[in-house]
Amino acid sequence: MLLLLLTLLIIAIVLYGYQSTRKPKNFPPGPRWWPFLGSAPQVQFLRKKTGHLLLATSKLARKYGPIIGLKVGGEQIIIVHGAKALREFLGNEDLIGRPNRKPDTYRSWGKRLGIVMTDGDFWSEQRRFLVRHLREFGFGTNNMSTLLEEESQELVKYLLNETNGGEGVVSVPSLFSTPILNTLWRMLVGVRYDSGDPQLAKLHGILADMFKHMSMVGKLFVSFPILRYLAPEASGYNFYMDVHRRLIDFLYEAIDDHKQMYDPECPRDVMDLYLSMINFNCKLQNSTFSEQQLVITCMDMFIAGSETTSNTLGFCFLYLVLYPEVQRKAQEEIDSVLGRERAPTLSDRQQLPYIECIVWESMRMFVGRGFTLPHRAIRATKLCGYSLPKDVKVVGNFYDSSLGEECGLEDPSAFKPERYLKNGQVVIPDNIIPFGLGKRRCIGEALARGNLFLFITALLQRFNFSQMPNESPPSTDWEDGFTPRPKDFQVVVSER
Ligand code: HEM
C-alpha cells in the first residue's frame, strides 16, 4: 500500500514538473522553463553577470524581442521593453490590474487595500477621490507652490548653516529625504516637522529601513509563500511585517491626532475629507472608505512619492557634479532670470527652460534604471501580437526606452539637458515616459516635477556642488530597492 502511494506521489510530482515546463499557446518567447524553477536560473545567472535584474531582462530582450515571457516559482511574468511596446502595454485597458497575491495583503490585515496594489471598482473609486481632493487641497495649485517654495528655502537655510559662509560636505541622496518627506506629509496631513523633530526622525527611520531592505522585485517569501512558515527570518517575512507594522502604528497615531481637531464643517486637508467620507458612508454596506484604507493609502503615498523624488534629486546632483559645465550653464540661466537674491517660484518655470531640461534629464536617469509597478491582465488579451492569459503579471522595463543604446537618443548615457531644447522650447521625445501612461499613470506628477524644479533651482542659485578632492568621481552605478538609488556619495558644497 505504502509503495503504491509512494509511486503515485512520484508520478504526480513528475507530471506536475513536466506540466510546469510547458508554455501557453502564443505566449511571448523567452528562456526555457525548468521543472518547478521556471526560468529563474537563467535570469539569476544574467542578473549576477550584469549586476542588475533590469539589465538581465534587457539582455534577454536582445535575444527574444521586446516582450519576453518568464516564469519564477509558479508565477508567469511578462517583461516589456522599448518605447513602442511599453506604450502599447500601458495603453491596454485589459492590463490595468495589479497582481492579486496573498503576500501583498500581509501588510494590510489580509485585505487588498490602498491605491498602488488594488484594482477594479474599489481602486477606481479610491483613486478618483484622492486625485480630486489632492488637487482641491493643493496639487498643481498656488498652495502647492507656496509649500514647495518654503521647503526648498528650508534646505537652502540648512546648507547655509552647514557651509557657514565657506564650504561644507554633505551626503547625497540622503540630503533630500527629509525635505521631500515634509512636502508629502504637509500635502496629506497639513503638518510640518522641523528637521530635528523626533516624529520626523521616527518616520524617516521607518521609511529608510523599508526602502533599504525591500526590493520592488520581491522577497523570497513573495515568490515562494511557504517560506513564510519554513524560514520567516531568512525569507525576509519577519522584517517585512515588522517594518510595515511600525509604519502603520505611526500613521494611526497621526490619524488619532487629526481626529482631536476634526471639524466636519470645515475640512482642513485630505485626511479630514477622508474622515468625513468614513462617517458619511459608515452606514452603507460595501463602502470602500475605512480607517484601514486611509492608513494604507497614506502608506502608499509615502512609498510611491518619497523615494522616487529624493532619488531623482540624488541622480540629478550626481550628474551635476560629474558635469560641472551643466551646472555653470544652469547658474547662468538662473542669474540672468532671477539674480542671486529673489527665491524661485513655480511660475518661473517658463523662463528657465534649461533647468526644466535638467529636471527631465534627471528623471530619465532615474526611471531608466528601473521598472514600472507590476500590472495584471484582468482578462485574456493580446500584446504586440502575443496572447497573454488572464491574471498574468506584466512589468515594464524602462532601460531600453530611456537609457540603453536602443533608446534612440544620441549618446544616451551622457547627461545632456540640451537634448530637449528646440528653438528655446522644451520638447520631450515620445520614448521618455517617467510617470507611465494610461489609467495607472502616476498621480504625483505635479508634486514631483514641482519639487524637482524648485529644489534644483534654489540650490544652484546659492551654491556650487563639486567632487570631493583627491577622491575618484562618484559612481553612476546604482542600488536596486523599491526604486533605483544612486550609491551614497559625498559632495563639497560652497556658497556662490
Ligand atoms: C520623480 C518622481 C516620480 C516618478 C518618476 C513616478 C513614477 C511613477 C510610475 C512610473 C508609476 C507607475 C505607473 C504604472 O504602474 O504603470 C507611478 C505610480 C504611482 N505614483 Fe508616482 N512617481 C513619482 C512621484 C510620485 C509622487 C510624489 C507621488 C505621490 C504624491 C506618487 C504617487 C504614485 C501613486 C499613488 C502611484 C500608483 C497609481 C496607481 O496604481 O493607480 N508618485 N509613479
Q: What is the CATH number of the domain that holds 353?
A: 1.10.630.10
**Ligand 1 pocket, 443 CB below 6 A?**
yes
Tell me if 376 sits within 8 A of 391, measured CB to CB.
yes
Which pLDDT score is estimated for 138?
67
Tell me the C-alpha distance between 146 and 149, whole Å.
5
Residues 378-403: tens digit of each pLDDT? 999 999 999 999 999 999 999 999 99
List helix spans (H) across 197-323. Answer: 198-213, 220-223, 227-230, 237-260, 270-281, 291-322
**Ligand 1 pocket, 417 CB below 6 A?**
no
Q: Considering only CA atoms, which residue is closest to atom 15 of ligand 1?
A: 373
Q: What is the 3-state secondary structure (H, E, C) of 91-125?
A: HCHHHCECCCCHHHHHHHCCCCCCCCCCCHHHHHH
Is residue 286 situated within a structural domain?
yes
Is residue 160 situated within a structural domain?
yes
Compute, in angstroms, the gap from residue 443 CA to the centroid of ligand 1: 6
Domain total for the chain? 1
Segment 439-443 mean pLDDT: 96
Is residue 67 situated within a structural domain?
no
Tell me if 58 sits within 8 A of 404, measured CB to CB.
yes
Is residue 254 situated within a structural domain?
yes
Q: How many residues does the chain have?
A: 496
Ligand 1 atom showing the smallest separation from residue 98 Cα: 40
**Ligand 1 pocket, 374 CB below 6 A?**
no
Of residues 315 and 15, more confidence is placed in 315
Tell me the C-alpha distance between 47 and 222, whole Å.
19
Q: Residue with C-alpha cell 502608506?
A: 299
**Ligand 1 pocket, 308 CB below 6 A?**
yes
Tell me if 228 sits within 8 A of 93, measured CB to CB.
no
pTM: 0.93
Ligand 1 atom showing the smallest separation from residue 447 Cα: 27
Q: In the predicted model, is pLDDT for residue 181 greater than 80?
A: yes
Q: State which H helix or E strand residue 177 sits in.
A: helix 177-189
Compute, in angstroms, the gap from residue 375 CA to the centroid of ligand 1: 13
Segment 226-232 mean pLDDT: 85
Compute, in angstroms, the gap from residue 432 CA to the centroid of ligand 1: 15
Is residue 392 situated within a structural domain?
no
Is residue 426 situated within a structural domain?
yes
Segment 264-274 mean pLDDT: 81
Which pLDDT score is estimated for 283?
67
Compute, in angstroms, the gap from residue 7 CA to the centroid of ligand 1: 52
Q: In the predicted model, is pLDDT for residue 74 greater than 90?
A: no
Compute, in angstroms, the gap from residue 135 CA to the centroid of ligand 1: 15
Tell me the C-alpha distance between 190 and 144, whole Å.
11
Q: Considering only CA atoms, which residue is closest to atom 9 of ligand 1?
A: 435
Q: In the predicted model, is pLDDT for residue 342 greater than 70?
A: yes
Ligand 1 atom showing the smallest separation from residue 367 Cα: 5
Annotated binding residue 442: yes
Compute, in angstroms, the gap from residue 374 CA to the centroid of ligand 1: 12
SS3 81: strand
Which pLDDT score is estimated for 139?
64
**Ligand 1 pocket, 365 CB below 6 A?**
no
Ligand 1 atom showing the smallest separation from residue 398 Cα: 10
**Ligand 1 pocket, 304 CB below 6 A?**
yes
**Ligand 1 pocket, 440 CB below 6 A?**
yes
Domain that holds residue 165: 99-365+415-495
Is residue 430 situated within a structural domain?
yes
Q: Which of 308, 431, 439 should be mutated for ligand 1, with most atoms under 8 A from CB?
A: 308
Compute, in angstroms, the gap from residue 32 CA to the centroid of ligand 1: 33
Is residue 349 situated within a structural domain?
yes
Which pLDDT score is estimated for 367?
97
Q: 439: burial class by Cβ within 10 Å (0-12, 13-18, 19+)?
A: middle
Residues 39-65: tens digit of each pLDDT? 889 999 999 999 999 999 999 999 999
Compute, in angstroms, the gap from residue 269 CA to the centroid of ligand 1: 21
